[in-house]
Chains A and B, each alone.
Chain A
Amino acid sequence: MIGPTAPCDLTASELGTKLRAGEISAVEILDSCRSRIDAVDERVHAFLARTDDLAREQAKAADARIAAGDAPGVAGIPLALKDVLSTAGVTTTCGSKILETYVPPYDCTPWERLRADGGVLLGKTNCDEFAMGSSNENSAFGPVHNPWGLDLVPGGSSGGSAAAVAAGEAVWALGTDTGGSVRQPASLSGVVGLKPTYGLISRYGLIAFASSLDTVGTLTRSVRDAALLLSAIGGKDPMDATSLDEPRRDYTEGLESEISGLRVGVVREAFGEGVEPGVRNSVRHAVDELANLGAQVGEASLPHADYALSAYYLIAPSEASSNLARYDGVRYGLRVDGADSVEMMTRTRGAGFGGEVKRRIMLGTYALSAGYYEAYYGQAQKVRTLIIRDYEAAFEAFDVLVSPTSPTTAFPIGAKIDDPLAMYLNDVFTIPANLSGVPAISIPSGVDAGGLPVGLQLTAPVLAEPTLLRVANALEAALGFDARPELIAA
């Protein structure tokens, strides 16, 4: 069913209310999502695998729990998972040929928690190979097409998750954000993307890219849904030594409180050259709305933000080159035979990895190699300190910071694929939050002259998710963004 009233187009919060009131069943919601996937995914290509049989069982079980009055808020809501998150018994490829046949023996913690709460898994979503990319063109299984324009990228690396939510194929989805991979596709696809504080969501079962930066995040159709989903999956996990000692808590509490008097800093450096006028205007307009809501708006500065991109492209590839050493053709994944173990390993990796992954492994291997470590990785880690200090200073004067999420709206597939530096610039405003671990969220602030969605990023201090979500929720209501992708508006 295609149309503005299909259940698959509602938010999880709206569907939850209907489920509890007996107005709809989880099976009906699932069928609505499945019909939408059938109708559009041949063109969008958001899904790499569908788990139809599993989903039906889970939806039925959710209906039984709802009928018994024992259902958490996420029960019966269809979910899509980025294919870097392990699912027991369900192939998990990371968008890579090297893991094309890999079937994890265990669930990642976020999905394990959602499953226990009555979640319904629709399938695994397409992504840039090992989450490396900003356009989803680096998937070994073909690009994702943006529902707002099928010849456009949806952003990346969680492009499949963002597109699935934008097109009504999934009600919500999980992604991962190492340098902007949840927020940037949310921005380009017109949905809400939350990257919480580093360590707030367990990474057990997340296949690693850059361990000091990797963060699980949510893609949803509203800020309230982001709060609801975070409540279900956040908090300490003994299986992840990097997870913070935070209790599981309800992030929808206090969401509707006023933001009058809150101090909002507009990041000066994020409105310069390279930012499209349509993006700048939309975000400026949203800042005016924040002032109308009673926020105290001022100018903030992150003086070292300019160096964040350079530091990131040393730190992330270095960590990736180490993490991806595990793909050696021995324990899982592809093997290409060779005369001895080293030749087998070398051929396997040459055949199994795509261009961008090879580029980053080479970059990281070089940056960590004898004689260069201090000059590259060591120096980049110092810049990381400077970025953290920038935020500390900014958050003395402000409760939240605001900037565009990405300098541009969605661009054509193929436009930047041959120019790595131009591609990396997509993440120039999102990377600083990863380097410093602070939470950030992208919400749609409007559309540009071409009708494409613009994303606005809010950033808050470590573990200030309640403030971040409260401001995002108030701004979302004030902006009343209700544009829909052409694909499903018909």
Chain B
Amino acid sequence: MPLQIDIEHVARLARLALTDHEKERLREQLGVILENAAKVSEVATDDVPPTAYAIPRSNVLRADEITPSLTSEQVLANAPEVESDRFKVPRVVEVE
């Protein structure tokens, strides 16, 4: 039986608006791709440790010194909407 994926749920998690046509195609394509990807379990046995980074690095530190950084004007220059030197967004919480 082909893999059943709750496309609506995944799209909600991804904050992604999809058309009905896109949902239909994705349901079909993701099923095929994931069935193929599930092949990894044939060899990924319990005794094999996972690798996150091929060339691991840890605790990369630098001296705690102030260096030049972007101005707030530069940081805000690409924003779709700005007010009082801040990013402006639509309402986040409900008004009582």
Contacts and interface: CB of A to CB of B under 8 A. Distances in A.
Contacts, number: 177
Interface string B50-68: 1111110100101000000
- Overall SS of chain A's interface: helix
Given A314-B37, A341-B92, A420-B29, 12 more contacts: A101-B78, A212-B52, A307-B39, A311-B40, A344-B89, A349-B14, A362-B10, A362-B11, A362-B30, A367-B34, A379-B44, A420-B32
B84 interface: no
Interface string A359-377: 1011101110100000110
B36 A361 contact: no
Nearest to B79: A331
A330 B52 contact: no
B24 interface: no
B42 interface: yes
B13 A369 contact: yes
Interface in A344-367: 344-347, 349-351, 353, 355, 358-359, 361-363, 365-367
B44 A313 contact: no
Interface in A430-473: 435-438, 462
Contacts of A436: 54
A376 B60 contact: no
B74 A241 contact: no
Interface in B5-48: 5, 7, 10-11, 13-18, 22, 26, 29-30, 32-34, 36-45, 48
B91 A341 contact: yes
11 contacts: A105-B75, A242-B60, A310-B37, A341-B90, A365-B14, A366-B10, A367-B34, A375-B38, A383-B43, A385-B48, A386-B43
A450 B16 CA distance: 43
Nearest to B87: A330
A199 B55 contact: yes
A382 interface: yes
A430 to B, nearest CB: 15
B78 A335 contact: no
B15 A385 contact: no
A468 to B, nearest CB: 16
B2 interface: no
Interface residues of A, number: 74
Contacts of B53: 212, 242, 437
Interface string A160-201: 000000000000000000000000000000000000011100
Nearest to A378: B50
A23 interface: no
Nearest to A364: B14
Interface string B69-96: 0100011011111000001011110000
Contacts of B48: 382, 385-386
Interface string A241-255: 110100000000000
Given A362-B26, A421-B32, A381 B17 contact: no
A375 B41 contact: yes
A333 B78 contact: yes
Interface of A: 101-103, 105-106, 197-199, 212, 238, 241-242, 244, 304, 307, 310-311, 313-314, 321, 325, 328-335, 337-347, 349-351, 353, 355, 358-359, 361-363, 365-367, 369, 375-376, 378-386, 388, 420-421, 424, 435-438, 462
A350 B54 contact: no
Contact of A339 (B14, B39, B90): B90
A226 B73 CA distance: 38
A383 B15 contact: no
B10 A421 contact: no
A310 B50 contact: no
A382 B74 contact: no
A226 B10 CA distance: 42
A212 B22 CA distance: 29
B79 A332 contact: yes
A340 B34 contact: no
A350 B18 contact: yes
A312 B70 CA distance: 35
Given A199-B55, A358-B22, A386-B43, A351 B17 contact: yes
